[in-house]
Structure 1
Amino acid sequence: MAEDPAKRSAIMRAVKSRDTSPEKAVREMLRGFAPHYRLHREDVPGNPDIAYVGRKRAIFVHGCFWHGHDCARGARMPKTNADYWRAKIARNRARDIAHQEKLASLGWRALIVWECELKDRASLEAKLRGFLS
């Protein structure tokens, strides 16, 4: 049965692009050992979720599905409108790469934290500490 376009549109409008649960979890972790970050800096290429401007460090917290991660959730493709979703995720990935390249050209280091990495918090904390040291 085909889904109502208005219903789908309402669902998509409800998807948050900032202050998501994974992002909040990463911020909570960072508060313990690396506070003083800034959120969603529009003056930094890619508008990173978390930025340490003085250190030139940017952290992006990516949802596995939306950014095409190679984990089980990221590899799952919707059955309806699959061509649209494949193109959408490909555009997201291309945009992410462009942002990483722009940041690197300006002397910034960037880290992508995948939503699935939150399952192993000790490992993620070690990754974050290493990135920020």
Structure 2
Amino acid sequence: MDRLTPEQRSALMSRIRSKDTGPELRVRRIAHAAGYRYRLHGKVSRAEARRAPGGKLPGGKLPGRPDLVFAGSRKAVFVNGCFWHMHDCPAGRVAPASNAEFWSAKREATMARDARNAGALEAMGWSVLTLWECQLKDPEQVLDRLDAFLGAPA
């Protein structure tokens, strides 16, 4: 296997986005086509922000900035990449060979942050669904999970 130079790796990593990723766009298309309406990236209305503990949310965004927010039903959906969030699937179990300690610590911190954010949302009275990248291959299955979590679209 060809090794990347540090410059090549840096260029590759700089193109990885945290918002509007391919998996997130796939879920948004499925949800929208089914009739679900949502807000993006943890945004909530001012009224919803005032209902948070302490009467406000920093920047008007929910903890962890969920990818899809259904404020009316107080439900949040995260679309996680298997590698970055260490899902228990083949892609999530891959461990980088170079700079292994750094990547292990980084990915474990991501898992801990995910758990903290989900706990904070649940403490605020929100329900949380995590959809994993490996689960998005079958749109019908994604829609079934959304329907079970959200109920029928209005």
TM bucket (normalised to shorter chain) is: over 0.9
1:52-100 CA-partner distances (Å, limit 9, x unpaired): 1121111000000000001011111111111111111100000000000
Q: How does 1:1-133 map to 2 (within 5 A)?
A: 3-42=4-43, 43-133=61-151
Distance 2:68 2:83 in 1: 20
Distance 2:20 2:145 in 1: 21
Bigger Cα Rg:
2
Flag as ranges the 4+ runs of structure 1 deviating above 4 A. Answer: none
Give secondary structure in 2 for the equivalent of 1:29. helix
TM-score by length of 1: 0.92
More divergent stretch after superposition (7-16 vs 68-77): 7-16
TM-score by length of 2: 0.80
Distance 1:4 1:120 in 2: 36
Distance 1:127 1:3 in 2: 38
User: Over aligned residue pairs, what C-alpha RMSD do you find?
Assistant: 1.6
Identity of aligned residues (%): 41
Change (3 A) 1:122 1:83: same
Cα shift at 1:12 = 1.6
Task: Could you tell me which runs of 5 or more consecutive residues in structure 2 were left unpaired when the two chains were aligned.
Answer: 44-60
Cα shift at 1:3 = 4.7
Distance 1:63 1:11 in 2: 16
Give secondary structure in 1 for the equivalent of 2:131. strand
More divergent stretch after superposition (112-121 vs 30-39): 30-39
Cα shift at 1:45 = 1.1
Cα shift at 1:116 = 0.3
Cα shift at 1:2 = 7.0
Cα shift at 1:27 = 0.4
More divergent stretch after superposition (84-93 vs 115-124): 115-124
Distance 2:123 2:102 in 1: 32
